Amino acid sequence: MTETAVTRPTEIEWHGVSPKYIAVDLIGTAVSALIFTAAATVPYWLIQEPWALIPSAAVLLVHLVVLVLTPRRIRSIRYALRADDLLVRRGIMFTRLVAVPYGRMQLVDVNRGPIARAFGLSELKFVTAAASSNILLPGLPAEEADDLRDRLVALAESRRTGL
């Protein structure tokens, strides 16, 4: 059996996030790689032994792996608007597919970080009464994010239920 069975239902119209978000994420990872690798060299400054560089090498390696996988990871983030619920899936190694009925949405956040803003992207966050729902859609073009938010709010309003 291939991957299509679980977490990749095919008959639904899926939307991806903007390819520009790959660049945003790469920059973010690169910055974090710089900071953490630099921080991990502190032992080396203190004792000046070559093996004291091992922690920073490890940190760098982890970040490189993340960098290499980033394009695939970002492309795997998909969402679909079904008749009564929103589907969000993400992940290549660890896949996760969530279905949230529109009526369950308590609020929708639109966040924009500095790098994402430079690329004209926004992040959408859906909050339900359950903390574990944790639904995040990064890397949407700003207008698309605003439209989607308005649409989801309208959908949620027409299907509103209690807790």
Partner 1 sequence: MTEPLPPRSDTQRPEEREGLGSPLTEGRGADLAGPLPAGNPRTEGAGFEAQQPQPLQSLATAPLTTSLADGEWHRLHPATPLLRGGIALIAIVGFLITNLRDRFIEGFLPMYRDEDYSGDPVEFLVGEGLLFWALLATLGVVLVVVFFFWLSWRFHTFRITAEIVEVRQGVLMRTNRRARLDRIQGVHIQRPFFARLFGAAKLEIEQAGDDANVQLSYLRGHEADALRRDVLALASGAQRAAAAAAPAAPNGVPGLVEARVQELLAPELDPAEAAAESVVRITPGRLIGSVLLSSGTLSVLAVLAGLGIVSLVTGEPIAVFGALPALLGLGTYLVNRITSGLRYSVAGTRDGLRVGYGLLSTTNDTLPPGRVHSVQLSQGLLWRPFGWWAIRVNRASRSSTNAQQQQTRSLVLPVGTLDDAVRVLELMLPGFDAATVQRAAAAKGGEPDDPFTNSPRRARVLRWFSRRRNGFALLPDVVALRRGWLWRELVLVPLPRVQSVAIRRGPLLRALRLAGVHVHTVAGPISSAIGALDDADAQRFFDEVATGAVRAAGNDSSHRWRSAEAAS
Closer CB to partner 1, 37 or 76, in the complex: 76
Contacting residue, 30, 32, 106, 111, with partner 1 by CB under 8 A: 106
Query: How many residues line the site for partner 1 (CB under 8 A)?
Result: 40
Residue 45: which of 55, 58, 33 has the closest Cα?
A: 55
Closer CB to partner 1, 18 or 76, in the complex: 76
Are 104 and 162 in contact by the 8 Å Cβ rule? The answer is no
Return the half-sphere exposure (C-beta side, CA atoms, 13 A cut-off) of residue 29.
21
**Rounded CA Rg of the chain:** 20
* Interface mask toward partner 1 for 127-146; x: CB under 8 A: xxxxxxxxx-----------
Stretch that binds partner 1, among 19-27, 38-46, 137-145, 151-159 (CB under 8 A): 151-159
Assigned token pair, 120: 């004209």
- Terminal C-alpha separation, the chain: 38
Closer CB to partner 1, 49 or 134, in the complex: 134
Region 28-47 residues binding partner 1, contact defined as CB under 8 A: none
Question: 136 by DSSP, 3-state: which?
Answer: strand
Contacting residue, 84, 117, 143, 151, with partner 1 by CB under 8 A: 84
Measured distance CA(155)–CA(67) in Å, rounded: 37
Positions in the binding site for partner 1 (CB under 8 A): 1, 3, 5-7, 9, 84-85, 93-101, 103-108, 127-135, 153, 156-157, 159-163
